[in-house]
């Protein structure tokens, strides 16, 4: 049906009438989306069933990727692309009077994540299915995703993201596969055949109901599964009879408290939120996921000692680390294994990715909280700690301080990262620099103890979403130039290098970029009524708002440019459009105040006729995957300016590179690997190196006030934060920002790097004045970006960590 346009049109019209009772003439865009989504979902059903059946029959080893976040975004366009039916559907809809792009926009963005970590999980699922690996996601079906951001009078306002309101066309509820998860209660020990048996009594039971989303591979005939768990009340009749719920309000309390488990995603990025509900979410995900894995494994009728041969479990950061004690619990309490055997099975099955070195983001949980909420799991963690410390005591008899430093439990806190390292067989960082710092600092004693456990897997992004789908014109140009082999082997993009000095190719690259800029300009005009100059440099910083990402440095530099223009209005300036988009955690006041500052500066700059032909500033509200797909293809400059050593990898940097933007950046995260390929000719580096930052943290020697006093233009912009003038309407309006720099001595070295940043920005102006040369650099960036396809990353995980194989659907029964 989807390979024949006329047939598609006929079926489509029939479905519209029979399902919705609407004729084509009366249909809305929402109707078209619903019918199209439903048709595709049904169409992939066959291959979905077939994939699962074959995984079972052929007993392929499966990888389950556990993540508290999956930032998948919209699926319609990508599903059409991966199924190879985009063109038929696009043309068919056009005949029926509809533009596919407009239909895609009907889909709510599945925002079940905060930022990079959740988006990584989504890119990995796309690569797993496209490369024919048996790999599945395991997550939570939050009723409300990351909040919707509105900007009101320059301030961020958070609204609930009710993404399920219109019902999700992709998901499939599987009530028959629900499992029970237990909280609270008390552990009772009894004896059976001379061994202790542990029962948890009086616990609160909760149903975990799975909702499955098909993950469709690109031209692979593979449909894997993202299984998202939803919490529902579990009413055991015996419990009701026993009088537990004899009071109406207690029943309501119970229902409310259960439903709250999968109600909303914690909106915090890069900082740790230690609340009971979050712990409940984490255990809920882990327990449901592990029970589900073991139930599938049971069908193979193998001994559990074979579990590591058939199953790999990966935890995306420490949020799902309770899979370790939960697997231990089931193996010991339900399957009858002793500690040593259960331990061997568990550690050979689980692997862990570390995502951050920021101490404020390293998870710890108070012992009392875990002990009360999860009494049996706590006993197991305590035993792990006891055994691990016992081993350390023996080994480090001469260095006892290492024992408390490395313990899993210390000062009544459970250190989740330690639990993850001790209970798994692989620990990876997400970029070369990050892994080096991980091994050299936070995890140094663990690396000394288990050197074979640590490894690097540099993050990646799926080129299908971030190039083929979001920038189809560029994708087609690449096909015309080097053929289509790069689609399956993205490293082949390197062949584009030979076109870097080809004038005709440069021209085409520039045309595509200009068209993308026009499209973004139209969106900006529609949303904000502001016109931007498509020939100005589109300079973009889009990512979560955080001190270490240094949006502040960017906007302070914009204030400086404004001052320069005001001082000499007739001087020459290369026109720039600075574009920001970022959500701040609701309780992160400094971040919110930076959003306000950006909006205030934008307002002043855009309204000033002396300035606004050379400089514009935009803050686009509600940064999300779909907004990223719209902005990134239109960027000329990519701002990756984090304090060196703070950004573990970054993936935004890779998306921009793949779309031909040039990066201004620090030597941080994966920028380091980008720089290795691009060199100074194709990238604009500036600022402190991570070793220098570390040196300052250790030994001091930096005073922000010195920079402030010695550099007049810097003093001027800092003063403009608190002294009434163009950017400050009342006395000390941006005091919080001012203090963060001068009172708290500029934790993120914004002032230290500001001058070097301004110089790199000046170099960008120079380079942009030579369009051919700029195009050439842009081509080199695209050519080198194949290295950052998540396909390469997933191959490495598959070989080095998971030991899984690509399947051949041609052999499927």
Ligand X SMILES: *Cc1c(COP(=O)(O)O)cnc(C)c1O
Interacting residue ranges for ligand X, rule: CB under 6 A: 115-116, 119, 543-544, 623-625, 628, 650-652, 655
Which residue of the set 34, 132, 280, 355 is catalytic?
A: 355
Residue 31 parent element (H or E): helix 29-57
Q: Tokens 């988006």: give the residue.
A: 119
Which residue of the set 200, 435, 651, 666 is catalytic?
A: 651
Q: Tokens 């971040």: give the residue.
A: 591
Question: What sign does the CA torsion over 584, 585, 587, 590 have?
Answer: negative
Residue 289 CA to its chain's centroid (Å): 20
Residue 798 CA to its chain's centroid (Å): 20
Closer to ligand X at the Cβ: 421 or 468?
A: 468
Separation in Å, CA 339 to CA 324, 334, 362, 806: 13, 13, 28, 33
Separation in Å, CA 108 to CA 156, 515, 520: 21, 26, 20
Residue 659 CB, shortest distance to ligand X, in Å, is: 12
Residue 335 CB, shortest distance to ligand X, in Å, is: 40
Which residue of the set 544, 583, 614, 777 is catalytic?
A: 544
Which residues does residue 315 pair with via DSSP β-bridges, in sequence order? Answer: 66, 352
Which residue of the set 434, 500, 655, 777 is catalytic?
A: 655
- Do residues 545 and 111 make contact, with C-beta atoms less than 8 angstroms apart? no
Residue 534 CB, shortest distance to ligand X, in Å, is: 23
Residue 599 CB, shortest distance to ligand X, in Å, is: 20
Closer to ligand X at the Cβ: 115 or 267?
A: 115
**Token pair recorded at residue 437:** 């710092």
- Do residues 419 and 318 make contact, with C-beta atoms less than 8 angstroms apart? yes
**795 CB burial (10 A radius; 0-12, 13-18, 19+):** middle
- Assess whether 74 carries a catalytic annotation: no
Residue 665 CB, shortest distance to ligand X, in Å, is: 11
Closer to ligand X at the Cβ: 550 or 655?
A: 655
Q: Is residue 643 classed as helix, strand or coil in its secondary structure?
A: coil
- Assess whether 205 carries a catalytic annotation: no
Closer to ligand X at the Cβ: 545 or 728?
A: 545
Question: What sign does the CA torsion over 757, 762, 767, 771 have?
Answer: positive
In 502-620, where does DSSP find H-type helix?
A: 503-528, 551-567, 589-607
- Assess whether 544 carries a catalytic annotation: yes
Nearest to 786 by CA among 569, 467, 510: 467
- Do residues 79 and 226 make contact, with C-beta atoms less than 8 angstroms apart? no
Nearest to 67 by CA among 271, 312, 286, 230: 286
Which residue has the closest beta carbon to ligand X? Answer: 652
Closer to ligand X at the Cβ: 115 or 320?
A: 115
Closer to ligand X at the Cβ: 624 or 720?
A: 624
Residue 113 CB, shortest distance to ligand X, in Å, is: 8
- Assess whether 418 carries a catalytic annotation: no
- Assess whether 473 carries a catalytic annotation: no
Separation in Å, CA 400 to CA 389, 394, 409, 796: 10, 9, 15, 37
Which residue of the set 549, 596, 646, 787 is catalytic?
A: 549
Residue 109 CB, shortest distance to ligand X, in Å, is: 9
- Assess whether 651 carries a catalytic annotation: yes
Nearest to 612 by CA among 539, 536, 552: 536
Residue 469 CB, shortest distance to ligand X, in Å, is: 13
Closer to ligand X at the Cβ: 439 or 543?
A: 543
Closer to ligand X at the Cβ: 54 or 622?
A: 622
Q: Which active-site residues does the annotation give?
A: 355, 543-544, 549, 651, 655
């Amino acid at each position: 049906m989807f390979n024949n346009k006329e047939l598609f049109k006929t079926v489509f019209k029939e479905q519209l009438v029979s399902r919705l009772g609407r004729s084509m003439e009366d249909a809305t865009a929402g109707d078209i989306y619903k019918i199209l989504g439903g048709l595709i979902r049904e169409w992939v059903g066959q291959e979905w069933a077939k994939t699962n059946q074959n995984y079972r029959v052929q007993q392929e080893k499966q990888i389950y990727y556990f993540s508290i976040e999956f930032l998948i975004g919209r699926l319609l366009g990508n599903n059409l692309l991966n199924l190879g039916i985009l063109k038929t559907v696009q043309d068919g809809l056009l005949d029926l009077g509809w533009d596919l792009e407009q239909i895609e926009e009907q889909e709510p963005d599945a925002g079940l994540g905060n930022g990079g970590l959740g988006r990584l999980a989504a890119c990995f699922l796309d690569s797993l299915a496209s490369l024919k690996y048996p790999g599945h996601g395991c997550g939570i079906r939050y009723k409300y995703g990351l909040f919707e951001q509105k900007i009101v009078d320059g301030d961020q306002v958070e609204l609930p993201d009710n993404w399920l309101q219109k019902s999700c066309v992709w998901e499939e509820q599987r009530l028959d596969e629900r499992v029970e998860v237990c909280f609270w209660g008390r552990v009772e020990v009894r004896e059976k055949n001379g061994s202790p048996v542990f029962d948890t009594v009086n616990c609160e039971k909760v149903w975990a109901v799975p909702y499955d989303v098909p993950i469709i591979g690109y031209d692979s005939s593979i449909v894997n599964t993202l299984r998202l768990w939803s919490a529902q009340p579990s009413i055991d009749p015996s419990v009701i009879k026993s009088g537990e719920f004899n009071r109406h309000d207690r029943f309501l309390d119970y229902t409310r408290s259960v439903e709250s488990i999968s109600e909303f995603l914690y909106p915090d990025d890069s900082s740790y939120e230690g609340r009971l509900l979050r712990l409940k979410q984490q255990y809920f995900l882990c327990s449901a996921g592990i029970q589900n894995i073991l139930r599938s494994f049971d069908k193979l009728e193998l001994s559990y000692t074979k579990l590591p041969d058939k199953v790999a479990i990966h935890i995306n950061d420490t949020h799902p680390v309770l899979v370790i004690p939960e697997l231990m619990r089931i193996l010991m309490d339900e399957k009858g294994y002793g500690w040593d055997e259960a331990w061997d099975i568990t550690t050979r099955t689980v692997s862990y990715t570390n995502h951050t070195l920021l101490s404020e983001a390293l998870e710890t949980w108070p012992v009392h909280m875990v002990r009360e909420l999860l009494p049996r799991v706590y006993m197991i963690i305590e035993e792990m700690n006891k055994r691990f410390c016992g081993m350390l005591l023996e080994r480090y008899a001469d260095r006892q301080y290492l024992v408390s430093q490395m313990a899993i439990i210390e000062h009544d806190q459970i250190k989740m990262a330690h639990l993850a390292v001790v209970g798994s067989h692989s620990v990876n960082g997400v970029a070369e620099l990050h892994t080096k710092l991980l091994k050299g600092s936070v995890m140094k004693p663990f690396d000394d103890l288990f050197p074979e456990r640590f490894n690097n897997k540099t993050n990646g992004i799926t080129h299908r979403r971030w190039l083929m789908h979001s920038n189809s014109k560029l994708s087609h140009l690449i096909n015309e130039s080097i053929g289509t082999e790069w689609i399956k082997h993205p490293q082949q993009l390197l062949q584009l290098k030979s076109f870097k000095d080809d004038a005709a190719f440069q021209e085409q690259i520039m045309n595509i970029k200009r068209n993308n800029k026009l499209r973004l300009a139209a969106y900006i005009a529609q949303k904000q009524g502001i016109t931007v100059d498509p020939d100005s440099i589109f300079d973009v910083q889009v990512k979560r708002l955080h001190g270490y990402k240094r949006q502040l440095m960017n906007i302070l530099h914009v204030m400086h440019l404004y001052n320069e223009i005001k001082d000499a209005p007739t001087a020459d300036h290369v026109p720039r459009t600075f574009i920001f988009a970022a959500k701040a955690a609701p309780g992160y006041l400094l971040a919110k105040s930076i959003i306000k500052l950006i909006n205030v500066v934008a307002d002043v700059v855009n309204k000033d006729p002396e300035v606004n032909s050379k400089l514009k500033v935009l803050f686009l509200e509600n940064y999300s995957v779909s907004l990223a797909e719209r902005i990134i293809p239109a960027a000329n400059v990519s701002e990756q300016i984090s304090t060196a050593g703070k950004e573990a990898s970054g993936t935004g940097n890779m998306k921009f590179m793949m779309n031909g933007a040039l990066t201004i950046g620090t030597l941080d995260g994966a920028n380091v690997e980008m720089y290795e390929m691009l060199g100074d000719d194709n990238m604009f580096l500036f600022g402190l190196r991570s070793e220098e930052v570390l040196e300052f943290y250790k030994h001091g020697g930096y005073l922000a006030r010195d920079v402030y006093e010695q550099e007049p233009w810097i003093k001027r912009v800092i003063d403009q934060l608190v002294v009434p003038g163009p950017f400050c309407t009342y006395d000390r309006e941006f005091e919080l920002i001012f203090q963060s720099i001068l009172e708290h001595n500029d934790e993120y070295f914004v002032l230290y790097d500001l001058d070097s940043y301004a110089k790199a920005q000046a170099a960008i102006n120079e380079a942009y004045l030579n369009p051919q040369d700029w195009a050439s650099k842009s081509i080199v960036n695209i050519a080198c970006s194949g290295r950052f396809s998540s396909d390469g990353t997933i191959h490495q995980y598959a070989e080095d960590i998971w030991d899984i194989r690509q399947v051949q659907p041609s052999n499927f029964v």
